[in-house]
Amino acid sequence: MTPTHFTRFAAIDWSGAKGARHPGIALAVCATGDAAPVLVDPPRGVWSRTDILHWLHAQAREPLLVGFDFSFAAPFVERGAYLPGETAATDPRALWAYVDRNSADPDLGAASFLEARRGQHFYLGAADGAKARFMHYRRCEAHFNANGGGKPSTVYDAIGAAQVAKASFAGMRLLHHLDPAIPVWPIDAPPRDGACVVEIYTTIAARAAGLRKGLSKLRDGAALDVALAQVGSAPHTPLDRYTDHATDAILTAAWLRTHARRDDFWHPAAMTDQIARTEGWTFGVT
């Protein structure tokens, strides 16, 4: 089933940083039509991950499609386990619960989870050995790369500007605490009403807006409006300050609205039932 009931669309630029307030989190929302997405003000000046969790719970019955830019699970199909030799979890919810139980960090953080397993499951630097032995990918990541999407990231690589590990495992804690209030696609079937959470990759929205590889960050209002026009959006209300996080969220929310009813996004040919059930998939990878 391809859902058609969504009338609001949100994109969340996420953060796995340590601490309890995160300038790297931005939330943008738009409605059906072409009005540009607007940033949602955090309740206490700067977003925390817990604030985002509370915001999502309040939206659970709304016809809202929410995109998060982190990986919803670790690779499973390739090796038959998320954390080989450590946990017998065979579905994302069991993994989320395991990560949550074993993370002492404040504000749904997971840095300590990775640090306690460096060299075993996660690469955090040269002391952990050859980086190549940590490079395991979900099937959607491998498929995206094979079809010209660019170099894939893995949740086992926790070093460097492009790493997604800390954000993804912190996100798994959020999904654990959100469950079962909002369905999480494709682990859950698309709902007929209410909200739904999907995994997004902001680079896909950037490419749809005509931004070239390596030049996908928007740092001024004029460039943002040009990109928004490419995904069917009217110009935005000027911001007090332009950051990559804010512009990524605004552009991706508009892109999500434009493509929310695409059958091939909800039913990608390369996504088998096993992949959906164990690893999830990134909305927009076909």
Domains of the chain by residue range: 1-286
Q: What is the Cα–Cα distance from 248 to 253, expressed in whole angstroms?
A: 8
Question: What's the N-to-C CA distance of the chain in angstroms?
Answer: 16
Q: Could you read off the pLDDT of 16-62 as tens digits, one per residue? A: 999 999 999 999 999 999 999 999 999 999 999 999 999 999 999 99
Do 170 and 41 meet the contact criterion of CB atoms below 8 Å apart? no
Q: Could you read off the pLDDT of 49-104 as tens digits, one per residue? A: 999 999 999 999 999 999 999 999 999 999 999 999 999 999 999 999 999 999 99
Cβ neighbours, 10 Å, residue 45: 7
- So what's the pLDDT on residue 112? 97
Cβ neighbours, 10 Å, residue 64: 21
Do 222 and 239 meet the contact criterion of CB atoms below 8 Å apart? no
Where does residue 273 rank: exposed (0-12), middle (13-18), buried (19+ CB within 10 A)? Answer: exposed
Confidence of residue 132 (pLDDT cuts 50, 70, 90): very high
Confidence of residue 149 (pLDDT cuts 50, 70, 90): confident
Label each residue of the chain as H, E or C: CCCCCCCEEEEEECCCCCCCCCCCCEEEEEECCCCCCEECCCCCCCCCHHHHHHHHHHCCCCCEEEEECCCCCCCCCCCCCCCCCCCCCCCHHHHHHHHHHCCCCCCCCCHHHHHCCECCCEECCHHHCCHHHHCCCCHHHHHHHHCCCCCCCCCCECCCCCCCHHHHHHHHHHHHHHCCCCCECCCCCCCCCCCEEEECCHHHHHHHCCCCCCCCCCCCHHHHHHHHHHCCCCCCCCCCCCCHHHHHHHHHHHHHHHHCCCHHHHCCCCCCHHHHHHCCCECCCC
Q: What is the Cα–Cα distance from 39 to 59, expressed in whole angstroms?
A: 16
Using only C-alpha atoms, the chain has a radius of gyration, in whole angstroms, of 18
Q: Is the pLDDT of residue 215 over 70?
A: no
- So what's the pLDDT on residue 216? 62
Residue type, 127: A
pTM of the model: 0.96
Q: Which residues pair with 198 in a beta bridge?
A: 67
Confidence of residue 150 (pLDDT cuts 50, 70, 90): confident
In percent, the amount of the chain with pLDDT more than 90 equals 92
| Nearest Cα to Cα of residue 252 among 194, 195, 208, 197 | 208
- So what's the pLDDT on residue 78? 94
